[in-house]
Amino acid sequence: MILLTFATADGLRLGVKRSDGVIDVMAHAGADAAYYDPRTFYTHGQAGIAQLRALIDSLPLDAPTLDESTLDRRAPLPAPGKILCVGLNYRRHAAETGAPAPTTPILFSKFANALAHPGEAIPIPSVTQQPDYEAELAVIIGAVTRSVSQDRALDYVLGYANANDLSARDLQTRTSQWLLGKTLDKFMPLGPYLVTADAIPDPQALPIRLWLNGELRQDSHTGDMIFSVAQIIAYVSAHFTLEPGDLILTGTPEGVILGMKDKVWLKPGDSMVVEIEGLGRLENTIAG
């Protein structure tokens, strides 16, 4: 299923995208409508997805749909739990930064203030002079995940989304902790869709691309990850528990501004498009 969140005068709504349009889930859920509030729906994990699938399957074929182009689309996971990120996780990206390829995953975090919606303009605050983009595969956790093996790890994934791990390089490298440069307000555009894991059988088989002002800057493949999605989940869950609605950004491939000889940092009016196969197109501009 292809899920999205959109805003109405009544608040946020969960949508399911079909070929004929978007189903407004809460409008069809009767007394269960609150269960599908997108701010809490993802905490139900895989059970919620199963219940949603049964609801959608029970609708008549001519159930009314909404025209997606008229919707005010928001980040598909509007209230993530933990937000974990993996640094230097693509071989050619580690090489372009001059860093050795890590032998264990480098973990850091962002906070929910960093969420930005599809199409939203991203403000660059005056505290940074070096804003950069990072196309990333985002993984949404669908079950309580504790000490899982690599073989079973993907069973705990609810779905996937495009993300842009915007990074203020001067703040990221000010101290040994990257946090400050990673979690500025709206520095994590997400979406437009959350695609359930059944539709993405192999997360290591996806072309991943980013265009800046129409120029293809990142053109890689999730197969270049040093630590696979399954390895990351197994590694993290050996140390602490992941829960439904947690989000993991799995690193960016080569082609970021940081890795270029002549570094022209992001500036007002710039347009960024992230596209991972099967996950749609995430477009954001830099605010003027």
* C-alpha distance from residue 173 to each of 3, 112, 139, 212 (Å): 36, 21, 26, 23
Of 24, 37, 120, 134, the one binding Zn ion by CB under 5 A: 134
Q: Do 137 and 221 touch, CB atoms closer than 8 A?
A: no
Q: How far, CA to CA in Å, does 10 sit from each of 50, 77, 95, 213, 237? A: 25, 18, 48, 35, 37
Comparing CB distances to Zn ion, the nearer of 252 and 284 is 252
* Cβ proximity to Zn ion, 237 vs 252, nearer residue: 252
Range in contact with Zn ion (rule: CB under 5 A) among 7-15, 65-73, 108-116, 158-166 = 158-166
CB of 134 to Zn ion, least distance (A): 4
Residue with tokens 């505290």: 127
Task: Enumerate residues 219-278 that contact Zn ion by CB under 5 A.
Answer: 252
Which of residues 165 and 283 has its CB atom nearest to Zn ion in the complex?
A: 165
Q: 138 and 249 in contact (C-beta within 8 Å)?
A: yes
Does 283 help bind Zn ion (rule: CB under 5 A)?
Answer: no
Q: How many residues bind Zn ion (CB under 5 A)?
A: 3
**DSSP class of residue 241?**
-
CA pair distance 279, 16, nearest whole angstrom: 14
In the bound complex, what is the minimum distance in angstroms from residue 249's beta carbon to Zn ion?
Answer: 6
Which part of the chain contacts Zn ion (CB under 5 A), choosing from 7-15, 58-66, 161-169, 278-286?
Answer: 161-169
Q: From the CB of 60, what's the least distance to Zn ion, in Å?
A: 43
Cβ distance 17 to 3 under 8 Å?
A: yes
Name the segment binding Zn ion (CB under 5 A); options: 8-16, 55-63, 132-140, 262-270. 132-140
Q: With H, G, I as helix, E, B as strand and everything else as coil, classify residue 242.
A: strand
**Which residue number, 2 or 138, has a Cβ lying nearer to Zn ion?**
138
CA distance 152 to 145: 10
Place of tokens 């059970």: 47
Binding residue for Zn ion (CB under 5 A) from 37, 165, 254, 283? 165
Interaction site with Zn ion (CB under 5 A): 134, 165, 252
